[in-house]
Amino acid sequence: MSKPFAISAQKIFDGTRWHEGAALLVENTRVKFIGPISEVPGGVELRDLGAGIISPGFVDLQVNGGGGVLLNNAPDVEGIRTICATHARFGTTSLFPTLITDTTEVRNAALDAAIQAHRENVPGFAGLHLEGPHLSIARKGAHDAKLIRAMNGEDVTTLITAHENIPMLMMTIAPESVTPEQVAALTKAGIRISLGHSDANHEQIVPLMRAGANMFTHLFNAMSQTTGREPGMVGTALSAGYASIIADGHHVHPTSIKLALAAKQNQSSKIFLISDAMSFTGTDFTELVLNGRKILRQGGKLTLEDGTLAGADIEMVSAVRFMHRQIKVELGEALRMATTYPCAAISLNDAGHLAIGAPADFVWLSEEIEPLATWIGGKQVAH
């Protein structure tokens, strides 16, 4: 058991509001107190970081890779460990390693790896995201069309069984490949369902939402668009449900991001940030191979050789910075989009905020919104 300590900076953001002249007291991996420095108990070590911001650690629900590792190419616990450690350097303290559409064998290996990562308490591992293979070929994006298929009964059984030993399982699926009955069975078991990579119309989407799907994957990208007579997946997402977005300046036009934020302003379900990062994060690599196809890194953008976008060349801190600087979102709101909102989308109650009893997962950011150090469970894991 480590000794309690207090830590302070110019500002602390707890996920809801700002504190100045305050300290965070950490005891036994959790937040014991947040309040005036003068109220820190005597005898407790106080670490004053000086300038900058202490924020809840970022929560990233879509992370394909990092540190030279792509989950599809390394579906094992060491692959997950590397991905988590790499993104911790950029302030992410809870993430969902994400498997892009692949074979059943690779999917099962990823499920086994997630179970093992949970058993080994890998720092930063919060659950697994399966993006595919139950998508729409018409909106496949960078996913391999040969591997996209409809969900069957065996899939449902395998997923529900695996979920019993994983802290949380999230899936991106398309109405074209999954029935409302299957979604109902999955969500009843506690699996989180997001809709995406789909050309479905509003009438096809609504039954899956009624069955338990409550969010949408990378809003605007790889989904049916809105017209005057058909809301499509974009319009449906803007009217109800949480939605993730890739804020990198390549995937979504700034005006479209502003439109989405305005649409959600008075809704309880919000827009939240994801990185959609690939194995390039934390490396100087310029290409990788996914299902036999090259993904190229050029000018801050990742594409297949035919120009199709294939993930993003960002981390969560970059997305926060983009939202604040380019979209002119207030910094606290940009931080919520990377912390409290993704947690709300999947009912992850033990992350994304700094309150008494919450895990001591936090990041120290410079005034320029650059990550300076990261703590998970009160232990410094990156600096």
CA distance linking residue 287 with residue 284, whole number of Å: 9
CA distance linking residue 249 with residue 242, whole number of Å: 21
Sequence-distant (6+) residues with CB within 8 A of 358 are 30, 31, 350, 351
CA distance linking residue 281 with residue 242, whole number of Å: 26
List the Cα angle 35/89/97 in 5-degree steps. Answer: 105
Among the options 14, 60, 248, 276, which is catalytic?
Answer: 276
Burial 285-316 (b: 16+ CB within 10 A, else e): eeebebbeeebebeeebbbeeeeebbbbbbbb
Which residue, chain included where needed, has tokens 């035919």? 306
DSSP secondary structure of 165-214: TSS-EEEEE-TTTS-HHHHHHHHHTT-EEEE-SB---HHHHHHHHHTT--
Q: How far apart are the first and last CA of the chain?
A: 22
CA distance linking residue 169 with residue 184, whole number of Å: 15
Q: Is 276 a catalytic residue?
A: yes
CB 286 within 8 A of CB 235: no
Q: Which residues are catalytic?
A: 276
